[in-house]
Amino acid sequence: MTRYGSFPGSRPRRLRTTPVMRRMVAETRLHPADLILPAFVREGIAEPVEIGSMPGVYQHTRDSLKKAAVEAVEAGVSGIMLFGVPLDEKKDGAGTDGTDPDGILQVALRDVRAEVGDDLIVMSDLCLDEFTDHGHCGVLDADGRVDNDATLERYAEMAQVQADAGAHVVGPSGMMDGQIGVVRDALDQIGREDVAVLAYTAKYSSAFYGPFREAVGSSLRGDRKTYQQDPANARESLRELALDLEEGADMVMVKPAGPYLDILARVAAESDVPVAAYQISGEYAMIEAAAQRGWIDRDKAIFESLTGIKRAGASMILTYWATEVARQL
């Protein structure tokens, strides 16, 4: 490289001079098709209820959920991930409403599927925490501990009712050992080889789930540290990945996204199936709250957070901003 006196011979700034130049050399582009909208549907409400800690996100009625699904399709979003919020009095130790064909999540899956057909990939959260009175992701043993294998039996049944209700994809999110294999078998047993499994592969025990717990009216006391991963650990995610792939996962997920971009990059490097990342409720709430106070530029922060997640290796991103962002792209 020729140098003239002490001036730099290399000038990376040349590629940053104009918006079109920057656009041309951008390595990472968000596309509406990358995005999946998580959505909540609550039983027994006449109007949508805005979630206090997630301004702009609602507990939907059956009708408003259908509208949200159609808006997502129109914006070019690829999928919707449904969470059910049953009446409080329907919660019990076994999370019975989660396997009732007329339970709120199944009803919503049928509604949305009837509305969007195959224009939107309809996904269902496969977990018991929204349906149990103790708020854990599984059933408890006599000593009050989450019973892994008894929970797997519940998940198998959930997978079957969710498939019957119209889910294209089920998303086991409880972090029980063996959950992917059991869910795959349960689907195959009823002839639903067509239903895909999105494994929550690396799901960390995170403080950033706080607003979600309000969103689903969670009754959890205590924490999920005996089944969700310790934020201190990275290697264990690769072990979870190997197990989920062996058990038949069609897609894998890292969650949360923002504080775990190193995990996402490692999983993306190892995985031979598509990798999703879930930008969770707390990540949403932090940006919205800071923006409300005028402390950050909301739209720029949203785009930067999503670009970072994609740059780290996500093929798909679950984000509560999915429809809004897809419209802007």
Q: Which residues bind ligand PBG (CB under 6 A)?
A: 125, 127, 129, 137, 173, 209, 212, 224, 280-281
Count Cβ atoms below 10 Å from residue 69 Cβ, excluding itself.
Answer: 26
The count of C-alpha atoms lying within 13 angstroms of the C-alpha of 190, restricted to the half-sphere facing its C-beta, is 16
CB of 281 to ligand PBG, least distance (A): 3
- Count of beta carbons in the 10 Å neighbourhood of residue 42: 25
| Minimum gap (Å) between residue 43 Cβ and ligand PBG | 16
Find the shortest distance in angstroms from Cβ 35 to ligand PBG.
15
Q: What are phi and psi of 223, to 5 degrees?
A: -145, 180
The active-site residue out of 203, 225, 300, 310 is 203
Active-site residue (options: 66, 91, 255, 310) = 255
Minimum distance, C-beta of residue 230 to ligand PBG, in the bound complex (Å)? 14
Write the Ramachandran bin of 302: left for phi over 0, alpha for psi from -120 to 50, otherwise beta.
alpha
Q: Do 281 and 54 touch, CB atoms closer than 8 A?
A: yes
Q: In the 8-state DSSP scheme, what is residue 8?
A: -
Question: Long-range contacts: 106-110, Cβ < 8 Å, 24+?
Answer: 106/161, 106/162, 106/164, 106/165, 107/62, 107/165, 108/41, 108/62, 108/65, 108/82, 108/84, 109/82, 109/162, 109/165, 109/166, 109/167, 110/165, 110/166
Question: Can you read off the two tokens belonging to residue 308?
Answer: 């970072």
Rounded (5°) CA angle 246-250-254 = 90
- C-beta of 122 vs 137, nearer to ligand PBG: 137
Q: Which residue is nearest to ligand PBG (CB)?
A: 212
203 is an active site residue: yes
Active site residue 90: no
Minimum CB separation of residue 21 from ligand PBG in Å reads 37
Catalytic residue numbers? 203, 255
